[in-house]
A and B are shown apart, each in its own frame.
Chain A
């Protein structure tokens, strides 16, 4: 794929706190997220996965470096433009608390478009709803849905406005393996069938194996990456990673 990447970070650094309490969460990260592909980000706890995702998605400011979504440099945008960009170009799935409790499943799915004041594409909406298999649950409130169903509603919401890119931070972290598999399968299908671009943070090698490319983070730096992962290869890589992480800093 020669076209421009869906998202890209160049020399991205992120520092939290000040003085003594300073934490370098991201250290000069360069990454391209290819269009129409399913990318997984893995790494030990505290390695900066969530931070990277938040910076890429325009949810957090960066300390230095640039972040692009399409050809827009997020670091130059003001809050208003960022908000609009998130609304129109980006979809999110968080680990938990993805849905507004006072809205029905359907209302949650169409929320970004309702906020934008645009009409959802009904045919596309039907396709998504059938794909996530929630047609019978559309008028239910989140509290009346199971955890897996809630995450599938969140996925449907992320897809509904046809964003350029979807970010998912441990979307299956709270789910049992069967519900997790449903959600992951659905994410993968949206890449394969609709050409959606997805970036997913995960701890789970099994989840990572649904992706087409795994990027490994350690101490705020990209330490490695892997194409067409299988659970075994990822697990293997992670074990190595743990030993390296304990013995010596990762070579750049």
Chain B
């Protein structure tokens, strides 16, 4: 029986390739996702491990989530500790180090290096002191020499190459305080194993770095090198008693595992995110594989019946199909894993193109990847093959051997289940926004279940929808080709529905995302209109903070009535966890933003007071008069609530006045400046004046209201494109499904095509018929997907209304583009089967049994 199965497999190479390809694509997505995140993980792990000194003495606040550390004043440790630590037993040496985020290296045009790749903090570099002790420095100078003295710096090799500089050249750097300084490039560095991070690193000698960024006796941390054979924890315990409050000692291992944990949660999220897309692709591929096997089995019903008639048992017939499926699944899954490696490379490129600072690294194959990918391929294929095979095997041999192929079951049960799921899904969808009003997460969960119910329900019902839909669509085509094509789509509604269904899923998700993005863009624009009364907004590229001097320069510009700076500091607070507190001038900010303050007033905001947005206040049960203890980089601070305000777009959370935010650890850097012009001066004049004032600060951008809305829109658009890129694979698999279905249909209809040719249809006519058929299937799938997808998008918008997505919007142009692309894709998918059909030999076709 196995021999028969294998022979069967190879007898139909074409079907084999088409079915196999769908498995390969689906498995590739799953395997690729794992390979990608595993590789990322592995390369980050090596970096973490090699970067850690035996013990590191650092400010206690360093355990704030690193996302928020860039905002505040640099936390420091006293360098007076260095000799004390070096005196301890088992310590070889202690080396103070300085690390500063937010350095801007300017290129020859005076623009920040790497600014084009904005979105992920593009345009800023990390500055640090050059550690002369090689044992404590994973970075080495590969060209020139280490930086020495106040006018030298070293640069990582990738950035040096990008700038086109060699040692000896001059480099201009914009320091966090806004000073522009020229340095001589002393050398070019590379990190062991090449970090590959798309981040610029700048190095000065310690004294210079200290002079530039800190005061004497201060460092960011102290790295301790232990004698060989000593125990890290013992040294840590010996150091700890020496330390003042606010400074801690951690071992290299502790540090590494801490960083690792942070990475894990980040990567875990990324992995889940990618796997969601992998599941979508799998789902789509399952359709394709199932459909293909249904057709293969249908075509072979007679052959199977013959086997039954000559005495093979049902079990044997099933086993033979099973064997076929298993062989195919194993081979295709193995190829899929190989393709997954390519896909992982593609993902790396995609993320890098999106500006994510991920290192490009060699690929890592975990055994888990291979097991999961193989299982996925195997299970989907075998289930897809067995369902139709079971159906075929219950048909009486005699019935199957009759001329006409056996009609599929009526599907009443499927229709009933589909109706139930659709109804239930709609019911839940109606409830979801109400649930979300109380708890967004729960609402989202209900909406997710509702969406799954609706989608699966629609897919189950779509054979019923196929008939009226194809009739309606075929009205677009006159003549016999259209009539034949639409007849073909109705011949087996289940097959048409399954083929279209794959596309439905892809288009549905794309439409939902599109609607959500359009709604977000519109809502944000609405918030900008409602909230931002300022005429101009100044932000840093990549939303990096910029020197406080910018605010001064703006204030001094003619025609500027008020400049409201927004300054931030990291802190840990109830209701928000690690967050950024916002500091503003209470009077000026009210000129720039129209804030709704239902309780208390911003005017009361003084020393050690705080305003809290209503959501946070509600969640921690605070109100005007209550005291909240927060943890700042400088330690715990008690703040008194004087106002509760409605969150306004990005303006949420804890708000203090400027002296208080400084006390909480904010540096002399701002993240936004809102500019209000006076009525007497024209917008053009003020803009020109501001442009001149901002010339020394190429790392900030001046935006008027519409440009500000546009940048936010662009950022959402960027994210959108990224999601679309991931969904494209699902759509491609769906289109492959159309190729597959049509190719197999052509095969099934060989005689019919021969007959059409015999009675005078031209090759072109045959091709046209098949292309129209594909168009009808694709359009049906896409239209259904779009309707469901827009509904999902609307639902998501309602769910997230409380999160600021208050308005519903559709990007009709984009949706129309999806439809057009799906239709064009369908037509392209038909080209090859159509060509094959038109090449069929007439006589071979007529004679075919």
Contacts and interface: CB of A to CB of B under 8 A. Distances in A.
A23 interface: no
A163 B404 CA distance: 30
Interface stretch (A36-44, A99-107, A198-206): A99-107
A154 to B, nearest CB: 10
A94 B847 CA distance: 10
Contact of A83 (B484, B491, B760, B846): B760
A114 B762 CA distance: 12
A112 interface: yes
Contact of B757 (A54, A83, A94): A83
B491 A111 contact: no
B842 interface: yes
A100 B760 contact: no
Given A115-B480, A143-B404, A54 B843 contact: yes
Interface in B400-417: 403-404
A112 B846 contact: no
B754 to A, nearest CB: 9
Nearest to B761: A115
Contact of B758 (A59, A79, A80, A107): A59
A97 B755 contact: yes
Contact of B762 (A80, A88, A97, A100): A80
A94 B755 contact: yes
Given A100-B484, A102-B491, A112 B755 contact: no
B759 A157 contact: yes
B487 interface: yes
Contacts of A115: 480, 756, 759-762, 765
A88 to B, nearest CB: 7
A98 interface: yes
A114 B479 contact: yes
B760 A86 contact: yes
Interface in A46-95: 54, 59-60, 79-80, 83-84, 86-88, 91-92, 94
Interface in B729-768: 751-752, 755-763, 765
A84 B843 contact: no
A61 to B, nearest CB: 10
A117 interface: yes
B483 interface: yes
A114 B842 CA distance: 20
Contacts of B755: 94, 97-100
Contacts of B756: 100, 111, 115
Interface residues of A, number: 30
Contact of A87 (B484, B751, B760, B843): B760
B677 interface: no
A97 B759 contact: no
Contacts of B73: none
A83 B843 contact: no
A15 interface: no
B760 A84 contact: yes
B759 A101 contact: no
A84 B762 CA distance: 8
Nearest to B765: A115
Contact of A102 (B403, B488, B751, B843): B488
A83 B762 contact: yes
A60 B845 CA distance: 12
A116 interface: yes
B760 A112 contact: yes
B467 interface: no
Contact of B842 (A59, A84, A91, A96): A59
A60 B758 CA distance: 10
A202 B812 CA distance: 64
B567 interface: no
A94 B755 CA distance: 9
A83 B761 contact: yes
B525 to A, nearest CB: 51
Interface in B450-486: 479-480, 483-484
A75 B491 CA distance: 38
B186 to A, nearest CB: 77
Q: Determine which residue in A92, A102, A103 has the highest number of CB atoms from chain B within 10 A of its CB, and name it.
A: A102
Contacts of B752: 97, 100-101
Contacts of B479: 114, 117
Contacts of A114: 479-480, 483
B490 interface: yes
Nearest to A86: B760
B758 A103 contact: no
Interface in A14-42: none
B846 A102 contact: no
B484 A116 contact: no
Contacts of B846: 59, 94, 97
A114 B480 CA distance: 6
A67 B491 CA distance: 39
A103 B758 CA distance: 16
B760 A103 contact: no
Nearest to B757: A83
Nearest to B848: A97
A209 B705 CA distance: 94
A83 B756 CA distance: 10
Contacts of B483: 103, 107, 114
A92 B763 contact: no
A84 B757 CA distance: 10
Contacts of B765: 115
A98 B760 CA distance: 13
Nearest to A88: B760
A102 B758 contact: no
Interface string A116-129: 11000000000000
A100 B479 CA distance: 15
B491 A101 contact: yes
Interface string B821-849: 00000000000000000000011001000
Contacts of A79: 763
Given A94-B755, A102-B487, A111 B480 contact: yes
A157 B760 CA distance: 12
Nearest to A158: B759
Contacts of A86: 758-760
Nearest to B487: A102
A94 B842 CA distance: 13
A114 B483 CA distance: 10
Nearest to B751: A97
Contact of A111 (B404, B759, B762): B759
Contacts of A99: 755
A94 B758 CA distance: 10
A107 B765 CA distance: 17
A246 to B, nearest CB: 28
A201 to B, nearest CB: 13
A35 B763 CA distance: 30
Nearest to B753: A100
Contacts of B760: 83-84, 86-88, 112, 115-116
A170 B487 CA distance: 29
A112 B751 contact: no
Contacts of B758: 59, 86, 92, 94
Nearest to A98: B755
A95 to B, nearest CB: 9
Contacts of A100: 484, 487, 752, 755-756
26 contacts: A59-B758, A60-B843, A79-B763, A80-B762, A83-B760, A83-B762, A83-B763, A87-B761, A91-B759, A92-B759, A94-B758, A94-B846, A97-B846, A98-B755, A100-B484, A101-B752, A102-B488, A102-B490, A102-B491, A103-B484, A112-B760, A114-B479, A114-B483, A115-B760, A115-B762, A117-B479
In the A-B complex, the 10 residue pairs with the smallest Cβ-Cβ separation, listed nearest first, are: A87-B760, A102-B487, A114-B480, A86-B760, A83-B762, A115-B761, A112-B759, A112-B760, A97-B751, A60-B843
Given A102-B491, A143-B404, 9 more contacts: A54-B843, A60-B843, A83-B762, A86-B758, A87-B760, A97-B755, A100-B756, A111-B756, A157-B759
Interface of A: 54, 59-60, 79-80, 83-84, 86-88, 91-92, 94, 96-103, 107, 111-112, 114-117, 143, 157
